Amino acid sequence: MFYSNDIDIHETAFVNSYFCAIHVDLSKDICTRLWSYPKTEKWIPGFLKKVSSVETFTLCLNNAFFLEGKI
What is the chain's pLDDT, residue by residue, as a tens digit (71 residues)? 344 566 777 788 888 899 999 999 999 999 988 888 888 888 888 888 888 888 899 989 999 999 888 65
Domain assignments of the chain as residue spans, ordered by start: 9-67
Give every CB contact of residue 59 below 8 A, 6+ residues apart in sequence: 16, 19, 20, 27
pLDDT at 70: 65
Long-range contacts of 46-55 (CB under 8 A, 24+ apart): 46/5, 46/7, 47/7, 47/12, 47/15, 55/19
60 phi and psi angles, rounded to 5 deg: -65, -45
Global pTM value: 0.75
**Cα(69)–Cα(66) distance, integer angstroms:** 5
